[in-house]
Amino acid sequence: MADIARLAGVSTSTVSRALSGSKLVNQETRDRVMELARSLKYTINIGAQNLRLKQNRTVGVVIPAVSDTHTRQHLTDPFFLGMLGSLADALTEQGFDMLLSRVDADQLDAAAQPYDTGRVIGVILIGQWRHHDQLNQMAARGVPIVVWGAQLPQQLYCTVGGDNVAGGLLATRHLLQQGRRRIAFLGDIQLPEAAMRYQGYCQALQEQGLAPDPALQVSVSFLPEGGTEGVQELARRGATYDALFACSDLLAMTAINALRAQGRTVPHDVAVAGYDDIEQSTYFHPPLTTVRQPLADAGRALVATLLELAEGRSAASQQLPTELIVRASSV
């Protein structure tokens, strides 16, 4: 900047003004400065600008990594990539940058670090896992944070999420409409989102005067192996079922594989519905019936909410509508 000032024969103040398009500076000078900046490929140092302006146009996005006992298990669910893409778009649209970090799910406090050190104006967390309390603490401490997940009672932090109860309800109703009566449920109901899907599942059963059979509910992790394990566990229990509702498409896919290994066909022997509507669901064999999460809206809503919070305003949690997509795995 000093260089430009010297070359243009003006002061840095003028350069600064010119570059920011201030009307206070002579049209001609401004053009000259602009031109000079372009030819020198000069761009304002955002770090310094931020420091001076006490502003910041970066938000933190945190993806939790599951660390099981041995290996650090990576989240490979394509749903996350979709969410990331959606966030990246929404942020770009608003002129914000995205600082991505990956944090062990069991030390979520680290998620606030980029905020504490002033690098970001707030944090978007994808997935609330079972760390309600830690999230509450962070929010109470004043960290602007928005979580993709379910709305819980006594929640101090802000969430944006799909309507999980409706999602569970839609999927289960659909399976019931196909004449299925013994519907297995795959998903870790310790996690708020899965719990609410389970709630919708129960509700749909009750509408038909059916009671949920605990033998049909298997809590498996969201890791892809979960589907295999779930189906094996059901076999171990000797459970009989003619349909299966899994809490993610990935689980549904591995479950279908495990069923196939048992010699059962989908949808003939077992009708299957997943959750998320990741792209691969379309060309899985059979194509997956699933509950679509509104990805594009999700990104926008998360960003909008975070910006509210970051500006010191309060923001309400939001629930986005979900939609049943019927494909061959259930009909």
Site residues (vs DNA, CB under 7 A): 1-2, 9-14, 16-17, 19-20, 24-27, 29-30, 44-45, 48-49, 51-54
From its own copies, DNA, none, interface partner of 311 (C-beta below 5 to 8 A by class): none
CA 63 to CA 135: how far, in whole Å? Answer: 14
Member of 12, 22, 39, 92 binding its own copies (CB under 8 A): 92
Q: Which is nearer to DNA, 55 or 190 (CB)?
A: 55
Query: Restricting to residues 234-253, which ones interact with its own copies according to CB under 8 A?
Result: 250, 253
End-to-end CA distance of the chain: 66
Member of 3, 13, 40, 72 binding its own copies (CB under 8 A): 72
Query: How many CB atoms within 10 Å of residue 188?
Result: 19
From its own copies, DNA, none, interface partner of 10 (C-beta below 5 to 8 A by class): DNA
Query: Tokens 């420091």 belong to which residue?
Result: 51
At 13 the three-state DSSP class reads: helix
CA 188 to CA 230: how far, in whole Å? Answer: 10
Nearest to 221 by CA among 190, 260, 261, 196: 190
Measured in whole angstroms, the distance separating CA 173 from the mean position of its chain's CA atoms is 25
Q: How far is the CB of 80 from its own copies (least distance, A)?
A: 6
Q: Which amino acid type is present at position 277?
A: D
Member of 9, 21, 23, 43 binding its own copies (CB under 8 A): 43
From its own copies, DNA, none, interface partner of 81 (C-beta below 5 to 8 A by class): its own copies
From its own copies, DNA, none, interface partner of 283 (C-beta below 5 to 8 A by class): its own copies
